[in-house]
Amino acid sequence: MSTKIVKVQTGEELIAMVTENFEGDRITSYTLKNPCMVVPVPQKGGGASIAVVPWMASVKDQSVTVPASYVMFTANPATDLANEFNSAFSGIVVPPAGLKLITE
């Protein structure tokens, strides 16, 4: 399971913890945990930022399996977006580039 951007046939761009489900060597479906829509938000004075909102807020179980035919593509999200999503749902955050880990 990894954090991915999922573009679906309805045009929505989602971010979720994604598991690929296989039948043999073919992906048959994707399980999306905590799926959220990625929404551009216009800023005063021009430009835009990105917000994430729950994709199916009315559903009790925040894990849904969608057929592979419904998914146009998956991609890795930008680090900042992945960190925001992961900190909200899993607590796992990628450290910024250049940060040195001290293990002593």
pLDDT tens by residue, 34-58? 999 999 888 888 888 888 888 887 8
| Residue in this structure with the two tokens 């835009």, named with its chain if needed | 48
Kind and range of the H or E run holding 84: helix 79-89
Task: Decide: pTM greater than 0.85.
Answer: no
What's residue 91's pLDDT? 57
Q: Given pLDDT bands bounded at 50, 70 and 90, which one contains residue 97?
A: low
- The answer to whether residues 11 and 70 touch, using CB atoms and an 8 Å cutoff, is no
CB atoms within 10 A of CB 6: 23
